Structures are given as structure tokens and as C-alpha cells.
A and B are shown apart, each in its own frame.
Chain A
Amino acid sequence: MKIEDKLFLDRFKVDEEDSHIKIKDGNKCLNECPDQPCLYFCPANVYRLETDHISVNYEGCLECGSCRIACPLLNIEWRFPRGGFGISHKFG
């Protein structure tokens, strides 16, 4: 089962106005972070390597917080989505 299909099972109320995740300095990801572990450990595959940057697909974030503390450069600004937004568990 692919990650896209897993995320499709979940219920998200996406905050279209505002992403709760921001990469502070995108250049650092490309120039100073050879391992780019966020591309692997994020359980929702939020971070994806594009041709010239890492994109942040915050809409499917499962809100575990891992990227905030495991980014080697602490280059990710992560806060909770606004109240009521983000994932809503059916089972939990």
C-alpha cells in the first residue's frame, strides 16, 4: 500500500490560507544538508525533493512533530495548525 493511499484513508480539514510548516531557508536544504533525512522519516511524505528545492506538502501532515526536532539544521518551523484544522482522527 502506497503512502498516498494511506493518507487517502484519513480525514483532513486543510487550512487553505496558511501552512503550519515552513522551511526557514530553502538554500540550506540544498547546500548544507547532504542527507536530507526529512525526505525519509516524515511519515506523511510531506517533504519531497523537486528539481531545485524541497517542497512542503503540509496538507497531509499527520502532526507528529518529527521534522521540527529531527531536521539536522533545525531549519523547519512547525507549529500546530489553527484550532480545528489539520487531521481529525476517526479511530485514533
Chain B
Amino acid sequence: MKETFDVAIVGAGPAGISAACILADAGVKTIVLERGEFPGAKNVSGGVLYGHNLAQILPDFSERKCPIERNIVESRIWYLSKDGGFSIGYNDSIFAGDRKHNAFTVGRAKFDRWFAEQAHQKGALVVPSTTVVDLLRDDKGAVCGVVTSREDGEVQAKVTLLANGINSPLAAKTGFRAEPKPDQVDLAVKEAIELPAEVIEQRFAVGNGNGVTIEIMGDITCGMEGIGVIYTNRDTLSLCIGANLADMAAAKVKPYDLMESFKQHPMVAPLIEGGQPREYVAHWLPEGGYDAMPQIYGDGYLIAGDSAMLFNALHREGNNLAMASGKMAAEAIIEALNKGNCSRSSLAGYGQRMMDSFVMQDMRKYRNFGHFRYHNKEIYDQLPRVATFAGREMLTVNGVSKKQKQKIIMQELRKETSLFRLARLLWRGWRSVK
């Protein structure tokens, strides 16, 4: 494989393929190296993708038969204790009408494969079953290609785009990004549970082809910082549950046991009843935030997507940050190639574009959100217990006056925490997302 390319892209996920599409459209000679036996074979996400960002790469993605599972018309948030919990949601028919495909679910094994096929049709070379194990550097230390696990597997390239995800032994080996610390990632496990499409539509009260997302916090993560989700696909449900890896290691909780108790929660069990598990996978979520981001470009290379720690936990956005960063990286690469120079200063257009875009603006806005969740564990423990106690007390009709019930609830609250601590928690939470 001793061939020279303009651009070598490591990883055929949303970041890498977005860049490959833009580059191939501009006639740039591009190779994408993917370690899975097909693009998507190793990839996992909760499963929500955003039409706006995909349309910026492929304006006609619907006509190109993008493998959409369900169009999202309703988003729910649950705050749970062991026995029950609170649910709020927002449903809007505009998301089935004018703003259809604002958000939709996908299975990454199908979606990434399809997405890579579009890049291939545009002229990019996508090579699966090929693991990049090292970077090539010239005598000045600039990256000038990659080393793959194949025989004679060196690929020379003027620029290399590292879009190889959050779990990257390549990053650890070459130092382009520091290895994450255990408290900088959430370890999530996911099951796909098969149910007939009409059963899903009945249980979630949506019309044909539409779907719901549920984001879940509380006691389900046993006091660890973490989150669960339920997303509707065409004829499967995606159930994910994850917790901070440092918390998980300290608590000696097994992720698959966490998943089993999640599935048995009284608000979850009826939704999946009768369903058949079809797949079980695991993946990290990048939780390091803005302050854990690496230098996103250097001499001869750029970093995009999860690999650059791009993730917005509050709004469960990651794929769109990957796509947007991949696109901006590609634009900066085209500029640099036109200048005939791929040094760090020549690639600075990437940094500038990122700073000017929603990607870095959101990363900065939420830079303290991960820290807040990690250091205020009562969100996952005492608070859901008190909240459930309050809900249960207020809704139980038993001849006790409401004034008296308020007193009982306040007493219970004081047992778990103090009003001062609660006020401080709310203030800190607000400050971390404002």
C-alpha cells in the first residue's frame, strides 16, 4: 500500500466520513482507514443524529436512502428513584412536519456503512479491516502519513486527520492526545431490544415512523455519576446505561448488572416487555469537556470528533459535533493544500472555524458541567429519594392535611440534606450550564 495521498483519515465514523465527503467533492485524493471489517462495525452511539449537520455534508441525504430508524418528535426526561420517578416531555408536531429529521435515530452499523458508501461514491478510498498503529513523521517531526497493521502498510499523506474516536491506543502511543483519566469518560453499555414496530408506536404513543427519546437520571446509576437512555428505533429499542469509569471502578459495580436493574425498573420494564435482546455493546462517552481537549491541529495533522473530546452531555450531542468538526477540518485542509503547506500555521483555519462555530462555543459554555455532576453525587442518590418521597406523599390521599404533608416532606429533606446544601447545589448546577 505504498501510495501517496493528499489526506489520510483515521477512522470511518461521522467525523472522518464528513471530512472525506467534503474533500472528495473538492477533488482531493483521500484515503479513509477503518479498523472494523466495515465502517460502523466498531461504532456505538445512543443513536440520535441531527439532520442539520448531515445536510451540510449531504443536502439530499433523504433521497440517498439514509438508513433512518425513527424521526424524533418527542423528548422526555426522567428523574428516577428505585420505585418510580418524575417524567417531563416535549412533543411538537412541527418535528413531524416542517422540521422533520431535525433529530432522528440510527443504528451506527448501518448508518456509518451507508455514510462511508456516499464518500466512496464521491471518490474517497475507504479501506476497512485496517488498523492504524502509528504515525509517520518527517525529519522535522511533522506528521506525514500513517503506519497500518497491514504488510507494507505505510501510507504517505500530506495531511492526516485523526478521527479515530475516544478510545485510541494510537493517541496514547503517539501522544497527539493525552490518554483520558478514568474520571474523564463514562463507560456505557447498550442493548438493542427487538419489538414489532406497531408495539413501539403504541407504547410510546407516536405515529408511523416517528419516535421518542428518553434521557434518564437518578438512582438508576446507584449513586454514580451517569445516565441511562431509551431511544426508539424502527423495530428495536436502544437501552443504554453508563456511569463515570472512576465511579464504577470504585463502586465495584458490574456494568451488565447495572443494565439488568435498569431493565427491571418499574417505569422501564413495561416499555421493553416481551422484547428480545439482539445485541450488547459497550463504549466510552468523552466526558472530559473543554478543559480536557487536546491541541486540535499541529504540523501535518488535525483531530476531530470524539477523538478531540467533543461531546455535549447536557444536550446529548456528539455526532453533530463530530460531523461539524470533520467538515471544518476538511475545509481547513483544502485551504492548506492550496497554499502548498500543511504546517500547523497553515492549518490554523481549523482552529479559527471551530472557535467561531457552535462546536467550541457549546464546549466552552458547558465546560464545568461534567465537574458539577461528578462532584455532586447527591443528584444520583439523596435527591431522587427525597423527590420521590415528596411526590408520593403529595399524591397519597389519606386524610392528612397538605400543610402537614409539606412538613413531613421538609423533615425528610433535612434527613437527607440541608436546605443550604440544596440551594448551593442548585446554584452550582445553574452556574455550570448558564
Residues of B within 8 A of A3 (CB): 254, 256
A40, B167: Cβ atoms closer than 8 Å: no
**Does B35 reach chain A (CB closer than 8 Å)?**
yes
Bound complex: CA A83 to CA B127 (Å): 10
A1, B131: Cβ atoms closer than 8 Å: no
B131, A83: Cβ atoms closer than 8 Å: yes
A66, B253: Cβ atoms closer than 8 Å: no
Bound complex: CA A74 to CA B37 (Å): 29
A62, B179: Cβ atoms closer than 8 Å: no
Q: Which of A6, A9, A35, A81 contacts B252 (CB 8 A)?
A: A35
Nearest residue, chain A, Cβ from B34: A83
B281, A41: Cβ atoms closer than 8 Å: no
A10, B245: Cβ atoms closer than 8 Å: no
B149, A82: Cβ atoms closer than 8 Å: yes
B277, A40: Cβ atoms closer than 8 Å: no
Residues of A within 8 A of B40 (CB): 89, 92
Residues of B within 8 A of A14 (CB): none
Q: Which of B37, B44, B280 contacts A7 (CB 8 A)?
A: B280
**Interface bin, chain A:** 35 or more
Residues of B within 8 A of A28 (CB): none
Residues of B274-331 at the interface with A, using a CB-CB cut-off of 8 Å, are: 277-284
B191, A6: Cβ atoms closer than 8 Å: yes
Q: Which of B107, B245, B283 contacts A41 (CB 8 A)?
A: B245
**Does B270 reach chain A (CB closer than 8 Å)?**
no
Nearest residue, chain B, Cβ from A77: B169
A41, B249: Cβ atoms closer than 8 Å: yes
B42, A87: Cβ atoms closer than 8 Å: yes
Residues of B within 8 A of A86 (CB): 42
A27: min CB distance to chain B, Å = 21
A91, B167: Cβ atoms closer than 8 Å: no
Residues of A61-88 at the interface with B, using a CB-CB cut-off of 8 Å, are: 62-66, 68-70, 72, 78-84, 86-88
A34: min CB distance to chain B, Å = 12
A68, B169: Cβ atoms closer than 8 Å: yes
Q: Which of B130, B131, B172, B281 contacts A92 (CB 8 A)?
A: B281
Residues of A within 8 A of B255 (CB): 41, 43
Bound complex: CA A66 to CA B280 (Å): 16
Per-position binary interface string of chain B over residues 141-170, scored 1 when its CB falls under 8 Å from any chain A CB and 0 otherwise: 000000011100000000000000001010
A33: min CB distance to chain B, Å = 12
Q: Which of B38, B111, B187 contacts A66 (CB 8 A)?
A: B187
B281, A87: Cβ atoms closer than 8 Å: yes
Residues of A29-72 at the interface with B, using a CB-CB cut-off of 8 Å, are: 35, 37, 40-41, 43-45, 62-66, 68-70, 72
List residues of chain B with CB under 8 Å of any chain A CB. Answer: 35-38, 40-45, 107-112, 128-131, 133, 148-150, 167, 169, 172, 179-182, 185, 187, 189, 191-192, 236, 245-246, 248-250, 252-256, 260, 277-284
Q: Pick 21 A–B contacts, CB within 8 A, sort by A.
A: A6-B277, A35-B249, A40-B248, A41-B187, A41-B254, A43-B282, A64-B282, A66-B282, A69-B182, A80-B169, A83-B35, A83-B128, A83-B148, A88-B37, A88-B41, A89-B42, A91-B192, A91-B278, A91-B281, A92-B108, A92-B111
